[in-house]
Amino acid sequence: MNRLHALFRRVSAVAAGTLLGLTGVAIFAAPASAHHSNVTGTAKCDAATGEWVVTWNIKSESTPDKVKKFKLAEVVAKTYVGGKATKVTIPDLPVTDGEKYPYKVKKTLTAKQRVPGDVRMASLAIKVTWDNGYTEQRWSKATVNFCGTCEAPKPTPTPSASEPPTPTPTPTTSEPPTPTAPNPTASIQADCEGIAHVTLNNADDATAPAKFTVKGGDDIIEQVEVKPGQSTTVEVPAEQAATITVTVEGRTKPLFEGAPEPADDCVKPGEPTGAYKSTCDELIFEINNPEDGETTTATFTPNKGEPQTLTVEPGMSGTVSFPAEEGLIVTPSGEGIENPEPIAWKKPADCTPGEGGGEPGLPVTGAAAGGIAAGAAVLLAVGGGLFVMARRRKLRFTA
């Protein structure tokens, strides 16, 4: 049985076909394509200040064509020193309130974060809202391990006025040149496929290339030379990423040895995803089941009214809805649903009077009403046919 991993993540309800009749709505299932956000991060030591500089990249993935922009609904950033976590703020990643969507879905949102040199790990978790009204219920997370020492150069002591400065000897041509030295660091992040991304850095103040060796288990994945002020990334396949060792020529102690922090809340192939959305009239839930999934059943229990059960076959999507009402709360449940949380209907800001439990609006009368009635009759007839089709399709679902 596939697990409904973090099922009710607000994503796009792409494949539900809807026709409005005089008395109701007919919704039928179709192949689904959910959208979500993705977070990745890398880190590099700023040798001038002794701080790690983390670069976070946020992308909006698999969005429908009608979705153009998004905003950050929630942001939680943490740093870790000696196993202790501390919440921090990233100025470049503010939460956006209201109906503004400042980021385009086709562009990567990049932000810089500076943390002290004694920090060993940083994490970022976000939830995104798109301009079609859907908000992720599942957190998108990334964790980056810092490897190596990041320290600012120690200041040279200034001689006192009573002591004459020590003269600096002028080297002769027979003296050996000053030895060169790299200043290597690394950062590691695992993705949802288990692949480890090892970013190798050589600081700007280095005076020689750093020669890295990256091993996965007992196998050498890659040996690479990184010039001062540059970086490169090596990917360690999932089957070799259980133990990773990063060494630098000239140093006996590895920069990193162990397993990277696993990626969180990943939706695996074959697992269904879920969505919910509050409209002016309804609280709508959707389940998207991939082609390689298994038949999935979930029950939605409102605090007002009767529960509804939704069964979705592989390669299909399905929806259930509840009439909008102030105080409405619906709790999803079913085998494999992790940490089911009650979901409340929230009235959208653009609802007009008469929508979403408000005061009833004025009836439409006159010539326009006749045209609307005729058009609605046609929609009702077509909708009735589709409703029968939907019912027939649903007969193939298993409980």
Q: pLDDT per residue over 234-273, tens digit each?
A: 999 999 999 999 999 988 899 999 988 887 766 666 778 7
Residue 294 belongs to some domain of the structure: yes
The per-residue pLDDT for 159 is 60
Parts of the chain with a pLDDT under 50: 1-3, 5-6, 9-33, 171-180, 358-399
Residue 94 belongs to some domain of the structure: no
The per-residue pLDDT for 74 is 93
The per-residue pLDDT for 277 is 84
Q: Which of 189, 201, 195, 112 is nearest to 148 (CA)?
A: 201
Within 10 Å of residue 125's Cβ, how many Cβ atoms?
A: 18
Integer Cα distance of 117 and 220 in angstroms: 29
For the chain, the domain total comes to 1
Note the residue count of the chain.
Answer: 399
Calculate what percentage of the chain has a pLDDT beyond 70: 70
Distances 327 to 23, 71, 278, 306, 345 between C-alpha atoms, Å: 24, 26, 13, 15, 7
Within 10 Å of residue 362's Cβ, how many Cβ atoms?
A: 7
Residue 26 belongs to some domain of the structure: yes
The residues pairing with 113 across neighbouring beta strands, listed in sequence order, are 54
Contacts of residue 379, defined as CB under 8 A and 6 or more positions apart, other chains included, come to 19, 20, 21
* Per-residue H/E/C for the chain: CCCCCCCECCCCCCCCEEEECCCCEEEECCCCCCCEEEEEEEEEEECCCCEEEEEEEEEEECCCCCCCEEEEEEEEEEEEECCEEEEECCCCCCCCCCCCCCEECCCCEEEEEEEECCCCEEEEEEEEEECCCCECCCCEEEEEEEECCCCCCCCCCCCCCCCCCCCCCCCCCCCCCCCCCCCEEEEEEECCCCCEEEEEEECCCCCCCEEEEEEECCEEEEEEEECCCCEEEEEECHHHCCCEEEEECCCCCCCEEECCCCCCCCCCCCCCEEEEEECCCEEEEEEECCCCCCCEEEEEEECCCCCEEEEECCCCEEEEEEECCCCCEEEEECCCCCCCCCEECCCCCCCCCCCCCCCCCCCCCCHHHHHHHHHHHHHHHHHHHHHHHHHHHHCCCCC
The per-residue pLDDT for 36 is 79
Q: Which of 352, 279, 273 is nearest to 34 (CA)?
A: 273
Radius of gyration, alpha carbons of the chain: 29
Residue 368 belongs to some domain of the structure: no
Residue 152 belongs to some domain of the structure: no
Residue 388 belongs to some domain of the structure: yes
Contacts of residue 339, defined as CB under 8 A and 6 or more positions apart, other chains included, come to none
The residues pairing with 200 across neighbouring beta strands, listed in sequence order, are 186, 232
Record the tokens describing residue 75, joined without a space. Answer: 């942001």
Instruction: Give burial (CB, 10 Å; 0-12/13-18/19+) of 348.
Output: middle
Instruction: Give burial (CB, 10 Å; 0-12/13-18/19+) of 253.
Output: exposed
Integer Cα distance of 207 and 193 in angstroms: 37
* Sign of the torsion formed by the C-alpha atoms of 394, 36, 38 and 104: positive
| CATH number of the domain enclosing 313 | 2.60.40
Domain span at residue 390 reads 17-34+266-350+374-394
Q: Which of 265, 292, 282 is nearest to 357 (CA)?
A: 282
Distances 393 to 110, 316, 387, 390, 397 between C-alpha atoms, Å: 45, 10, 10, 5, 8
The per-residue pLDDT for 330 is 94
β-strand pairing of 296-302 with 343-344 = unpaired
The per-residue pLDDT for 99 is 86
Q: Which of 238, 260, 256 is nearest to 201 (CA)?
A: 256
Integer Cα distance of 207 and 229 in angstroms: 10
